[in-house]
Amino acid sequence: MDKIVKVEVLIATPPTRKCEQTLEVLREIVRRYPEETRLVVFRRGIDFVPEELQMREYVSEEDCQPKEASLQMRTLITKGRAVPTVVIDGELFSTFEVPSLEDVEKKVQEILGKSGE
C-alpha cells in the first residue's frame, strides 16, 4: 500500500479529558493500520509558538521537535480552533467532540480505498 493517511490532532496543553479520549481513539486507529496511518499530535502552547513562549514543562523534549502540519491544520491552529480538533488526510474531520472509533475507521478506509483505484 503506497498511501499513508496522515491523522493530525490539535489538543490542549495540558490535555483535557476530551483530548485524552480523542488521542485514545486515534492511537487505536494507528494500531489497526500501522503501515497505512501516521499520527501527528499538535499541542496548543507548544507547536507554532515562539520558543520563549512554549509551555515545555508539559511535554518531553521529543514532543517539542518541529512537526509538519497540513495546510488545513496550520490554518486551524492560526485561527485558534477549539480543541480537540482532528484533521484526516488534510481535511477537517471533527472539532471539540471526541470522534467515534467507527467514524474515524470508516474515513481511513474510504481514503485507503480511493488510493487503491
DSSP state of 83: S
Amino acid code (one letter) for 50: P
Residues with Cβ within 8 Å of 46's Cβ and at least 6 positions away in sequence, in order, are 13, 54, 55, 56, 58, 59, 63, 64
pLDDT in the model for residue 78: 73
Average pLDDT over all residues of the chain: 84
pLDDT bucket at 75, cuts 50 / 70 / 90 = confident
* 47, pLDDT greater than 80: no
Architecture of domain 5-115: 3-Layer(aba) Sandwich (3.40)
Residue that wins the pLDDT comparison between 89 and 72: 89
Cβ atoms of 3 and 112 within 8 Å: the answer is yes
pLDDT in the model for residue 66: 56
* 17, pLDDT greater than 70: yes
* 108, pLDDT greater than 60: yes
What gap in Å lies between CA 9 and CA 23, rounded to an integer? 8
pLDDT in the model for residue 51: 59
